[in-house]
């Protein structure tokens, strides 16, 4: 029975928000919510942990900066310190202003791209991934809340109808 | 309504008195003869290796040109102007040079501080006009704080004007191009005399100050009239004059930076200089808005200001600090990279004689705010914003110091009594004028169409 869920459909995000508060207050476990667009504040109401993706991005940026410095220090200063147009190639610091554009761009490049890839990995998104959409209307104008069902079917149904659900479905959790 | 606390008023007066005494001491201690100047320099450099370097450098320098004037950077050496005229009085030229630098010290200290505090309120005025013109929904609760800070603009700019006028009357050697003796031997300055001449210079200054003062006057007037109005006409008028002011501001600020800062080095020019000075004043202005808001809120006067307003101000401090760095680096790197002698001397003198302030300000204005204000949670902590704000303000004082000092006092710089006193005096005056102005109107603007949105602003 634990794998059964009840799916409640709403057609307004404000109604959804108050429904989430109500269901949380009644101590039911919300499995998942599907919305066609970002609903501001939904994560707070659901009690989701804040994302740490900005922290990963900062770390990736630091890695990018290190890559840029190591690369240019090796190529321009250590490996073959040529005199190119009179630029001082005696030490990294002396020639640093010329390297700053590359350092900046690589920092941004690493921070942005690795963060995006992290996002894809964490949210399990890739090309040819099979869509996990319980109801096709949730990409258009409906909001769907999935609540775990554990033998309290009628009580939960009544609660959801009371919160303004326009349709209820009971299905196996996929 | 805000009431100016007696303790703060006393503190402002103490700052002003201490600062004025220190500045007076600075003028008193400046040498009046070449012999005194040389003795001071010999004392100062006695026993450190810098002494040798300086003497060697000076000897090399007055081999060519610059002996005639205090601007006298190695910067101007290769221009070779007046070379023949001054080659013979070799012995006394070093003394004259050092004398002018030392005599400039209290003047330059006064000027840097006067400009710094004027620039803060000008930056706030620009920020205020942008908030008005962009119809920002978050900031109207801060309008009265901004109006209070911009009250310093006109007195501050007039003090600066008096200093400029005194320079024009040859009371000091701050501006080399004001000295007819120098201009007579300097073809480069002669070529710029159509722009750089004292009457036109002072008239321009009055036009800038008049334009800024007029906007400040009318925007505050309309803002207060809106409190008791029955329609939004004052708000709309304010919107229009703010948009018009921003156009005027961009032109006048750019020219102001050429006149009041860049003309210290009349042989040098940079095209993005106006923007660079603007970034400095903008970030200092925003920082002061944040600091005064935090102060007033801590005293319980700004209950309608919440963490999100502070967060937005801190984001501006962060973003504009990086914008400043971008412009600083763009100016530095382009000149460093191409290394054209007539341009690069500007940075050569700064890196040789001002290494610590020149690179120290980069740490204070860029690295520190970058690391401290990056975290979203920290931008909501008052003490974090205050700490970052104080460092940013000091960093931008050093920034102005680096722009003015090398051309006026050269390698004789020191952050000593006249410099610190200048900061104290103008800080006291600034606090007095600003907090006095804050008592003049309720701290929450009423009937502003965005005020409800702003009160409930939440990020």
Q: How confident is the model at residue B38 (pLDDT cuts 50, 70, 90)?
A: confident
How is residue B193 annotated by DSSP? T
Q: Which ranges in A2-130 belong to alpha helices (H)? A: 13-25, 42-46, 53-72, 96-122
Q: What average pLDDT does this structure show over A35-49?
A: 93
- B385 pLDDT higher than 70: yes
Q: Is the pLDDT of residue B91 over 90?
A: no
Residues 6+ away with beta carbon under 8 Å from A170: A4, A5, A6, A7, A149, A153
Instruction: Inform me whether the C-beta atom of residue A98 falls under 8 Å from chain B C-beta atoms.
Output: yes
The reported pLDDT for the residue numbered B97 is 86
pLDDT band at B67 (very low <50, low <70, confident <90, very high): very low
Closest-CA distance, B333 to chain A, in angstroms, reads: 6
Q: At B256, is the secondary structure helix, strand, or coil? A: helix
Which H/E stretch holds residue A170? strand A167-172
Q: Do A97 and B336 lie within an 8 Å CB cutoff?
A: yes
Cβ proximity of B110 and B422 under 8 Å? yes
The answer to whether A60 and A110 have CB atoms below 8 angstroms apart is yes
Distance between CA atoms of B284 and A27, rounded to whole angstroms?
A: 51
Q: What is the mean pLDDT of residues B249-278?
A: 95
A147/chain B closest Cα distance in angstroms: 30
What is the reported pLDDT for B44?
65
* Strand duo A143-148 + A167-172: pairing: unpaired
Is the pLDDT at B40 greater than 90? The verdict is no
Per-residue pLDDT, averaged over A140-154, amounts to 88
Residue B128: pLDDT over 70: yes
Of A25-29, A56-60, B389-393, minimum mean pLDDT range: A25-29
Lowest mean pLDDT among A48-52, B5-9, B38-42, B215-219: B38-42
DSSP states along A88-121: --SSTTTTHHHHHHHHHHHHHHHHHHHHHHHHHH
In angstroms, the CA B253 to CA B157 distance is 13
Short-list B59, B98, B64, CA closest to B78? B64
Q: What is the mean pLDDT of residues A87-109?
A: 95
Of the candidates B88, B152, B2, B51, the one whose C-alpha atom is nearest the C-alpha of residue B412 is: B51
Per-residue pLDDT for B86 more than 80?
no
pLDDT at B100: 87
Separation of alpha carbons B159 and A148, rounded Å: 73
The partner residues of A172 in beta bridges, in order of sequence, read A4
CA distance A20 to chain B (A): 21
Are the beta carbons of B423 and B113 closer than 8 angstroms? Answer: yes
Q: Is A46 left (phi over 0), alpha (psi -120 to 50) or beta?
A: alpha
Residues in chain B with CB shorter than 8 Å from the CB of A104 are none
This complex has an ipTM of 0.89
Query: Does residue B79 register a pLDDT over 50?
Result: no
Confirm or reject contact between B376 and chain A (CB < 8 A).
Answer: yes
Residue A53 contacts B where some CB pair is shorter than 8 Å: no
Asked which of A7-11, B79-83, B173-177 is least confident by mean pLDDT, the reply is B79-83
Question: Is B180's pLDDT higher than 70?
Answer: yes
Query: Which residue from B418, B394, B429 is spatially nearest to B154, judged by alpha carbons?
Result: B429
* Angle formed by the axes of helices B143-150 and B273-298, nearest 10°: 120
What confidence score (pLDDT) does residue B219 get? 96
pLDDT attached to residue A174:
60
Q: Is B169 helix (H, G, I), strand (E, B) or coil?
A: coil
Contact A100 B329 (CB under 8 A): yes
- Residue B71 confidence (pLDDT) above 50: no
Q: Is the pLDDT of residue B429 over 80?
A: yes
Per-residue pLDDT band at A1 (split at 50, 70, 90): very low
Q: Which residues pair with A33 in a beta bridge?
A: A145
CB B253 within 8 A of CB B277: yes
- pLDDT tens readout for residues B95-106: 888 888 898 999
B336: contact with A, CB 8 A cutoff:
yes
Interface test with B, best of A97, A100, A103 (most B CBs within 10 A): A97
Residue A37 has pLDDT above 50, yes or no: yes
Joined tokens for residue B387: 């700490």
The C-alpha of B405 sits at a distance from chain A's nearest C-alpha, in angstroms, of: 24
Flag whether pLDDT at B69 surpasses 60: no
Structure-model confidence comparison of residues B98 and A116, the more confident one: A116
B431 pLDDT higher than 50: yes
C-alpha distances in Å from residue B213, one per residue of B156, B206, B434: 11, 10, 15
Say yes or no for a CB contact (<8 Å) between B333 and A100: yes
Q: What is the pLDDT of residue A118?
A: 97
Q: How far, in Å, CA of B223 to CA of B235, rounded?
A: 7
pLDDT at A4: 84
Indicate the pairing of strand A143-148 with strand A4-10.
antiparallel
Q: What is the pLDDT of residue B80?
A: 41
Out of A54, A58, A97, closest to residue B332 by CB? A97
Question: Can you tell me the distance from the alpha carbon of A10 to that of B19, in angstroms, rounded to the nearest whole number?
Answer: 68
pLDDT band at A2 (very low <50, low <70, confident <90, very high): low
Mean pLDDT, all residues of chain B? 88
């Amino acid at each position: 029975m634990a794998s059964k869920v009840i799916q409640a459909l709403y057609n307004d995000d404000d109604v959804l928000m108050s429904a989430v508060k109500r269901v949380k207050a009644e101590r039911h476990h919300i499995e998942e919510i599907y919305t066609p667009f970002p609903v501001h504040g939904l994560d707070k109401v659901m009690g989701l942990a804040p994302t740490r993706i900005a922290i990963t991005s900062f770390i990736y940026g630091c890695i990018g900066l290190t890559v840029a410095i190591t690369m240019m220090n090796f190529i321009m200063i250590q490996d073959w310190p040529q005199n190119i147009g009179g630029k001082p190639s005696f030490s990294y610091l002396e020639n640093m202003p010329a390297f700053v554009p590359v350092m900046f761009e690589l920092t941004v490049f690493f921070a942005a791209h690795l963060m995006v890839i992290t996002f894809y990995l964490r949210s399990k998104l890739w090309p040819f991934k099979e869509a996990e959409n319980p109801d096709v209307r949730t990409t258009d104008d409906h909001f769907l809340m999935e609540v775990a069902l554990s033998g309290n079917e009628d009580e939960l149904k009544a609660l959801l109808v009371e919160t303004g659900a326009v349709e209820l479905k009971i299905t196996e959790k996929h | 309504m805000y009431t100016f606390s007696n303790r703060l008023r006393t503190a402002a007066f103490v700052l002003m008195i201490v600062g004025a005494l220190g500045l007076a001491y600075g003028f008193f201690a400046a040498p009046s003869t070449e012999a005194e100047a040389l003795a001071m320099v010999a004392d100062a450099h006695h026993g450190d290796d810098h002494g040798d370097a300086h003497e060697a450098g000076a000897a090399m320098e007055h081999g060519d040109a610059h002996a005639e004037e205090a601007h006298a950077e190695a910067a101007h050496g290769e221009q070779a102007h007046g070379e023949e005229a001054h080659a013979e009085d070799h012995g006394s030229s070093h003394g004259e040079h050092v004398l002018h630098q030392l005599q400039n010290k209290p003047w330059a200290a006064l000027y840097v501080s006067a400009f710094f505090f004027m620039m803060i309120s000008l930056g706030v005025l620009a920020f205020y006009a942008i908030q008005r013109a962009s119809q920002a929904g978050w900031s109207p609760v801060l309008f009265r704080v901004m109006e209070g800070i911009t009250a310093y603009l006109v007195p501050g700019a007039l003090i600066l004007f008096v200093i400029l006028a005194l320079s024009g009357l040859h009371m000091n050697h701050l501006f080399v191009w004001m000295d007819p003796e120098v201009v007579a031997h300097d073809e480069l300055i002669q070529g710029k005399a159509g722009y750089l001449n004292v009457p036109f210079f002072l008239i321009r200054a009055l036009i800038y100050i008049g334009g800024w003062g007029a906007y400040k006057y009318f925007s505050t007037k309309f803002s207060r009239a809106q409190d008791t109005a029955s329609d939004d006409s004052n708000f709309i008028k304010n919107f229009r004059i703010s948009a018009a002011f921003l156009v005027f501001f961009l032109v006048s600020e750019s020219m102001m930076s050429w006149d009041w800062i860049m003309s210290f080095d009349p042989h040098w020019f940079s095209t993005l200089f106006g923007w660079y000075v603007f970034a400095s004043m903008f970030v200092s202005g925003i920082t002061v808005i944040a600091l005064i808001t935090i102060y007033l809120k801590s005293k319980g006067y700004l209950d309608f200001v919440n963490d999100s307003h502070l967060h937005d101000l801190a984001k501006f401090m962060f973003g504009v600090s990086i914008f400043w760095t971008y412009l600083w680096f763009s100016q530095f790197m382009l000149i460093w990279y191409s290394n054209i002698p007539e341009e690069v001397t500007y940075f050569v003198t700064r890196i040789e004689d001002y290494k610590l302030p020149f690179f120290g300000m980069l740490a204070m204005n860029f690295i520190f705010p970058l690391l401290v204000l990056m975290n979203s949670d920290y931008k909501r902590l008052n003490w974090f914003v205050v700490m970052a704000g104080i460092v940013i303000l000091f960093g931008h004082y050093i920034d102005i110091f680096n722009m003015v000092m090398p051309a006026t006092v050269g390698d004789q710089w020191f952050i000593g009594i006249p410099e610190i006193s200048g900061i104290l005096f103008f800080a006291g005056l600034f606090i007095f004028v600003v907090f006095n102005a804050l008592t003049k109107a309720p701290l929450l603007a009423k009937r502003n169409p965005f005020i409800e949105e702003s009160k409930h602003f939440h990020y």
